[in-house]
Amino acid sequence: MQFCNHCGQLTTARIPLGDHQIRQVCEGCNQVHYVNPKVVCGALVTWENKVLLCRRAIEPRYGYWTLPAGYMELFETMEQGAIRETWEEAEASIDIEQLLCIYDFPEIGHIYMLFKAQLIEGKFGVGPETLETRLFSEEEIPWSELAFSSISRTLKHYFADCRKGKLEILIETLSLDKPMIQTQNDKVTPA
């Protein structure tokens, strides 16, 4: 950021008084400009023991399968964001059941919040960011064609918990190179 979004003056990269990180600070009004993580919210949507996947019509990972998800908007809750993204990508109305997965991606400043949801009346379609949508059983999942590691991890977690008979919230810190697992006492260890 070269210019202050408060007064329009030039900014300088420096550590503000009382802070510990380099920030963009306005030379005119001293406004400190913070860069915060982006929140991605989405849903693992089920219907009759199958999972709804969307084939991406946009980059990154054009043509690969994913769960409906995207950036949270201002003035909406995480659940509202997951519902909106599911409608935009799969033209599907859903009922949110519970939080399923939380992923931290500190390298890229993203936090993913994925919910378990039920498809309403089994109806879905294809939104403008999607090539096709389809319901998959666990055996039918196109594992080698999934868009992101977080999608694969979410699906594996979901199906493993289904076999145990209880869905638990999965919290992980993921690296672009390899996943890191968040343990009960907040120690991060390689997966």
- Strand locations in 2-74 (E): 11-14, 23-26, 32-33, 38-47, 50-56, 65-66, 69-71
The model's confidence at residue 119, banded by pLDDT at 50, 70 and 90, is: very high
State how far the alpha carbon of 180 is from the alpha carbons of 46, 99, 145, 190, in Å. Answer: 27, 20, 22, 5
Q: How many domains are contained in the chain? A: 2
pTM, full prediction: 0.86
Mean of the per-residue pLDDT values of the chain: 92
Kindly tell me if the per-residue pLDDT of 175 is higher than 90: no
* CATH code: domain of residue 31: 2.20.70.10
Residues 78-104 have a mean pLDDT of 98
Question: How far apart are alpha carbons 159 and 167 in whole angstroms?
Answer: 9
Q: Where are the beta strands (DSSP E) in 57-178?
A: 65-66, 69-71, 94-105, 110-119, 130-136, 170-174
Q: What is the per-residue burial (b if ≥16 Cβ within 10 Å, else e) of 119-139?
A: beeeebeebebbeebebeebe
CATH number of the structural domain spanning residue 119: 3.90.79.10
Averaged over 113-118, what is the pLDDT? 98
Q: Check whether residue 111 and residue 75 sit in a common domain.
A: yes
Q: Where does 25-77 have alpha helices with state H?
A: none
Q: Which residues contact 59 (CB under 8 A, 6 or more apart)?
A: none
Same domain as 76, residue 165: yes
Does one domain contain both 23 and 98?
no
State which residues form the domain around 7: 1-35
Same domain, 85 and 120: yes
- What confidence tier does 176 reach under pLDDT thresholds 50, 70, 90? confident
